[in-house]
Amino acid sequence: MTTANTQTDAVPKTAQPSPRYRLPDPPEPHPDDMTSAKHLALTGNAHHLIHHFGNPGTTLVAAERYIVLAPHPGRDAIRRSPDLLIAFNVDPQAYEESNGYIISEQSKPPDFVLEVASPRTGHIDVGAKRDDYAALGIPEYWRFDETETGRYHGARLAGERLENGQYAPIPIDELDDDVLQGYSPVLNLHLRWERGRLGWHDPATGRHILTYEDQRNRADHAEDRVRALEAELNRLRNP
């Protein structure tokens, strides 16, 4: 008589990938801190930079999400959310999936961060944030203050480059009473304070990078040329 084997072979379970760690959202901005939206989002500056650099698969232009060194940062770990972050040769999709920039995940810190001064946080931008961005290894840190006296940052425009773990100032030129400019080696662009507005100028041409208006004018010009060519073809066909 055959005895049934009541012990079944163990079936190995397929390993399930660990869920990706997602950073929490930063707190909602205080009304006094909306200067960043004014100079980056409402002016289209962030969009202009995305268009200028291209390569959306490897270039990240982002804002107001946390930067941390590693997943699951402890209570005392550095966690900062800049007004603008730019990083080259990274994975923008990982940034979205992690809800922020995790340096160990991207294998490098962001290349550039910028803070726009506000009455409530200007002193943090020049103090604790500056120290933390240096500790995170971010090569360039820039600050923009729309006020004519640089009331909240102590300067209307300031850029610093990381050297041996410490930030050293980038020269700022006064082109006019109402125009200051500094060169970012990381971006290969001039940042400009012009009558309280933030601009980004190509050093090769001296011109501002393409804006919404430039793109619209190009489209209008192309449409005018198409219409002119169509009119010329009609004239040749029907002399």
Total length of the chain: 239
d(CA 202, CA 180) in angstroms, rounded, equals 15
Res. 220: pLDDT tops 60? no
pLDDT in tens, 60-113: 999 989 999 999 888 889 999 999 999 999 999 999 999 999 999 999 999 999
Which value, in Å, is the radius of gyration of the alpha carbons in the chain? Answer: 25
Q: In this predicted structure, what is the pLDDT of residue 217?
A: 47
**Rounded to the nearest 5°, which phi and psi values hold at 146?**
-70, -15
Maximal CA-CA distance, the chain: 105
3-state secondary structure of 233: helix
Residue type, 166: Q
Q: In this predicted structure, what is the pLDDT of residue 234?
A: 62
Q: At what angle do helices 212-237 and 45-53 cross, to 10 degrees?
A: 60
Res. 212: pLDDT tops 50? no
User: How far from 189 is each of 107, 112, 147, 158, 214, CA to CA, in Å?
Assistant: 25, 12, 22, 14, 18
Sorting pLDDT into bands at 50, 70 and 90, what band is 13?
low
d(CA 161, CA 56) in angstroms, rounded, equals 25
pLDDT in tens, 167-194: 999 999 999 989 999 999 999 999 999 9
User: How far from 31 is each of 34, 66, 77, 118, CA to CA, in Å?
Assistant: 6, 20, 27, 10
Res. 6: pLDDT tops 50? no
Residue type, 88: F
Q: In this predicted structure, what is the pLDDT of residue 10?
A: 56
3-state secondary structure of 51: helix
d(CA 195, CA 191) in angstroms, rounded, equals 13
